[in-house]
Amino acid sequence: MEQVAVHPDPPPPELARTLDFAGYRWTAVGSAEDAARQEPVGGWAGAIVAADVDPDAAWALCRALRKRDTPVSPLLVLVSGSQLADLELRNELFDDFCLTPFHPSEVEARLKHLFWRGGDGVRPELVEYSGLVLNLETYQASISGRPLDLTYMEYELLKFLAQHPGKVFTREMLLSRVWGYEYYGGARTVDVHIRRLRAKLGEEHANLIQTVRSVGYRFGQSRWGA
């Protein structure tokens, strides 16, 4: 995955957490000179600039990144509501903007759109379903933007189920596919992990994992809408 420049240095904690969770590789830069000095061999894959922290420094960096022989793009800026009126005057300095304080899922959505549009390979591998997001590179998970604190096997079980929405698996199948053929813990192990996952997903989302009576478990809706 390619490197993204992030301003300022250090970036706002919420921005750093959002990027880490989403699996983006990033480097904090404090100025245009700093960006040039730390630029990776293949160039910056894009930039995220928090212009609400130090507007003068932020816009100066955006201007420098855009005026290069090979302009840095995509470029996302984070601005406060009071800065909206100035955006038209700086329209050429960025590709998209997001208002602060921001919701992590909005920043992630805008970054996905920008990088997909540009055809860049910086998008992390994700499994997404009805508010659930699993990052397969960082082993992190969230539901409706709320991080989930999962053990390794809880994550593996949730990942397997989420990758096969609508399909019913017996406890024996889950033991074999998730824990492996050599595991002798018994079917009760699956029930315990399912119960823990539902608790961590919360009451609103616990029904993502459904019990199919006398058979096993299913993630999400069946293909027939049952």
pLDDT at site 79: 93
Last residue within a domain, chosen from 96, 118, 140? 118
pLDDT at site 61: 97
Q: Are 117 and 49 in contact (CB under 8 A)?
A: no
Give the chain's domain count: 2
pLDDT at site 109: 79
pLDDT at site 222: 58
Residue 55, C-beta contacts closer than 8 angstroms, at least 6 positions apart: 83
Residue 185, C-beta contacts closer than 8 angstroms, at least 6 positions apart: 175, 179
Last residue within a domain, chosen from 118, 140, 171? 118
Same domain, 136 and 34: no
Q: First CA to last CA across the chain, in angstroms?
A: 39
pLDDT at site 64: 96
Same domain, 90 and 147: no
pLDDT at site 224: 47
Last residue within a domain, chosen from 118, 135, 158? 118
174 φ/ψ angles, rounded to the nearest 5 degrees: -65, -40
Radius of gyration of the chain (CA): 21
Q: Are 156 and 165 in contact (CB under 8 A)?
A: no
Residue 223, C-beta contacts closer than 8 angstroms, at least 6 positions apart: 166
DSSP 172-219: HHHIIIII-TT--S-THHHHHHHHHHHHHH-TTTGGGEEEETTTEEEE
Report the chain (226 residues): mean pLDDT per 10 consecutive residues.
Answer: 88 91 90 94 93 94 93 93 87 90 84 70 72 85 90 90 92 86 69 93 94 93 54
Same domain, 63 and 43: yes
Q: Are 123 and 133 in contact (CB under 8 A)?
A: no
Specify the CATH number for the domain of residue 89.
Answer: 3.40.50.2300
Same domain, 101 and 186: no
24 φ/ψ angles, rounded to the nearest 5 degrees: -80, 140
Containing structural domain, residue 132: 126-219
Same domain, 130 and 171: yes
In a domain, 101, yes or no: yes
Residue 162, C-beta contacts closer than 8 angstroms, at least 6 positions apart: 127, 129, 132, 134, 219, 220
Pair of tokens at residue 23: 């699996």
CA distance 27 to 47: 10
